[in-house]
Amino acid sequence: MENKKIITVSIGIPAYNEEANIEHLLKALLSDTSTETRLSEIVVISDGSTDSTVCRVRSFRDSRIKVIDRKKRLGVVRTENEILTHVLGDILVVLDADVVPVESDFLDRITQPIRSNRAVGLVGASTVPLPSQTILERVITNSHYMKQHIYKLIRDGNNVYLCHGRARAFSKPFYKLLRWVDDCPEDAYSYFLCKTKGFSFVYANKAGVFFRSPQFFDGHVKQSTRFVAGIKKLKEIFGSEFIDKAYRIPRSIFLKTLLRYLKRNPFSTPAYIVITLFIRIVYSNEHTYKSRFSISQSSKRVVLYKGQKLSRV
């Protein structure tokens, strides 16, 4: 009987001052129990980190881990483009450094759509927020679940909203064509390039990563203004009609979900609406997307203490 070919997986992690979580992420990846894929390498590029990120990565005595300590910060786009020049796997999984996989066989789960269909070039993972520690974090976490409910109803989740930078898988035929454009949202760019190159995007609901929502207002403002500015840049590259259509949310889905969450969370849902309107008005002039954006420190610590058990809600 012919031996089944094991699919090799390369992991790329752009890292800027990620000492709070990088060890937890690497431990989870090295202990992954996947059987349909084989982890061949983890490439971590430190994008000018000034903390102990590089030291913590180098503390792992595993030949599969390669760390590049770049002294100058160039931004996530240039860092991910550099990752592309170092990886060789059949599938590339790009992860933010401030996440932790939900499932022990995460690599099998996130790569499954690519392994089962050659037309699939890009896969987005599910995102699971950690229990809230501040009032604002509770509001943002509630909004995350509300928006996820909406997005999953649009084309079964196979849409730009569920292609995010926290965790994505790229087929080799696609990532060999990929080069991100600077000062453009790299997650959405990868989605639109995938579509224009004739590949399919698939949302993998059963492959998840834990993350922490911003705990303080400034962190949420940074994320919100980047999203609005990013759409403007995408329109310059791909055209307004294409982008507007991709981001359009059916009114019936939006209203039904909003009413559901207003009833379920009568404090957090109205609070999020007020915060969103405030940001749109007060920060309306901040429409320039920059790849070298300032980070939100409060979302960096995913695992709070050793031995902490994480699970889906």
Backbone angles phi, psi at 210, to 5 degrees: -80, 145
The dihedrals phi and psi of 148, each to the nearest 5 degrees, come to -60, -40
> Could you tell me what percent of the chain has a pLDDT over 70?
89
Residue at 216 is within a domain:
yes
Whether residue 276 is contained in a domain is answered as yes
Confidence of residue 219 (pLDDT cuts 50, 70, 90): confident
| 275-298 tens-digit pLDDT | 999 888 887 665 555 555 555 554
pLDDT at 279: 85
pLDDT tens digits, 45-88: 999 999 999 999 999 999 999 999 999 999 999 999 999 999 99
Strands (E), the chain: 7-15, 37-47, 65-70, 91-95, 100-101, 120-129, 167-171, 200-211
Q: How far apart are CA 51 and CA 290, in angstroms?
A: 22
Q: Taking each helix axis as running N to C, give the angle between helix 135-152 and helix 268-282, from 0 to 180 degrees, rounded to the nearest 10.
A: 90
Residue 283 CA, distance from chain mean position: 24
CATH value at residue 97: 3.90.550.10
In a domain, 243, yes or no: yes
Cα angle value 207/18/125 (rounded, 5°)? 15
pLDDT of residue 244 exceeding 50, the answer is: yes
Give the model's pLDDT for residue 304. 45
The residues, ordered by sequence, that sit 6+ positions from 207 with a Cβ below 8 Å of its Cβ are 102, 103, 106, 109, 110, 112, 123, 125, 126, 167
Going by DSSP bridges, is the β-strand pair 200-211/37-47 parallel, antiparallel, or unpaired? unpaired
Say what angle helices 217-238 and 240-247 make with each other, to 10 degrees.
130
CA nearest neighbour of 101 among 16, 217, 204: 204
- Above 80 in pLDDT, residue 226? no
Domain residue limits at 127: 7-289
Output the average pLDDT for the chain: 90
The reply to whether 297 falls in a domain is no
State how far the Cα of 299 lies from the Cα of 301, in Å rounded to an integer: 6
Query: How high is the pLDDT of residue 1?
Result: 41
Whether residue 303 lies inside any domain: the answer is no
* The pLDDT of residue 307 is above 50: no
pLDDT of 305 higher than 50: no
Whether the per-residue pLDDT at 264 is higher than 90: the answer is yes
List of E strands, 6-149: 7-15, 37-47, 65-70, 91-95, 100-101, 120-129
Q: What is the pLDDT of residues 185-216, one digit of tens each?
A: 999 999 999 999 999 999 999 999 999 998 88
Per-residue pLDDT, 52: 96
Task: Name the domain count of the chain.
Answer: 1
Provide the 8-state DSSP code for 216: S
Q: How many residues does the chain have?
A: 313
Q: Please give the Cα distance from 280 to 313 (Å, whole number).
A: 30
Whose CA is closest to 17, among 76, 88, 64?
Answer: 76
Q: What is the predicted pLDDT for the residue at 291?
A: 56
Output DSSP code: residue 65.
E
In-domain check, residue 301: no
pLDDT tens, 127-137?
999 999 899 99
Is 185 contained in some domain?
A: yes
CB 146 within 8 A of CB 153: no
Tell me whether residue 311 is in a domain. no
pLDDT of residue 2: 52
- In 48-175, where do the E strands start and end? 65-70, 91-95, 100-101, 120-129, 167-171
Instruction: Give the pLDDT of residue 214.
Output: 87
**pLDDT for res 3:** 63
The two tokens of residue 1 are: 């009987």
